[in-house]
Amino acid sequence: TVEMKGWNGQSQAYEQGMKIAVFDVTDVSNPREMAKELIGDRGTDSELLHNHKALLFDRGKNLLAFPVTLMETGNNNSSNSDISKLDYGRFTFQGAYVYNIDLSKGFQLQGRITHLTSDDYLKAGDYWYNSPRNISRILYIGNVIYTISPAKIIAHDLGDLTHVNTVNLP
């Protein structure tokens, strides 16, 4: 998030993507960021930002997963100009981000899972596409991770995220 003057001269905050982080709160008056991951650019969103039930976390498996709608500008946010900070990204992905999380190594993206087809991405173009195949929940049973959208449930092996099975919903 960056702070800039709005049209009325008042300060306004402009989100610049999504950030996940782990903090050491041993000293609650002085929390320390231990690991962080920046995801996407302006316009990136996640069901997790609106509903905590969208988070899959298991400390024993070092597993963290959540749905994300990824928007990317392509300019790596390297420009400091006010105009570039206002640029919305173009739609590049919707699905689940699956991480291995380790306190010494931080966040390691294990992979991404989507229910969208190549036709869905063509229909969407640069803009977010409200498809019935947008993933909203993730869970695991045993060694299988399940991603759920209104249109289908897809199972992947938790170890390497290879496809196991798909169930289309009516």
* Residue 11 counted as domain residue: no
* Residue 20 counted as domain residue: no
**What is the CATH classification number for the domain harbouring 121?**
2.40.10.480
pLDDT given at position 61? 97
- Closest CA relative to residue 134, chosen from 150, 121, 111, 154: 150
pLDDT given at position 78? 53
Q: Rounded to whole angstroms, how far apart are CA atoms 170 and 168?
A: 7
Question: How many structural domains does the chain have?
Answer: 1
pLDDT given at position 123? 87
Instruction: Using CB atoms within 10 Å of the CB of residue 90, give its burial: 0 to 12 exposed, 13 to 18 middle, 19+ buried.
Output: middle
pLDDT given at position 115? 98
78-85: long-range contacts (C-beta < 8 A, 24 or more apart)? 82/4, 85/2, 85/4, 85/14, 85/16, 85/42
* Residue 14 counted as domain residue: no
* Residue 22 counted as domain residue: no
- Closest CA relative to residue 145, chosen from 93, 91, 100, 92: 100
* Residue 4 counted as domain residue: no
* Residue 78 counted as domain residue: yes
| Strand 18-24 to 11-14 pairing | unpaired
pLDDT, mean of each 10-residue run, the chain (170 residues):
66 84 96 96 94 97 98 70 71 97 95 95 84 96 98 98 97
* Residue 65 counted as domain residue: yes
Domain of residue 65, residue span: 42-168
* Residue 27 counted as domain residue: no
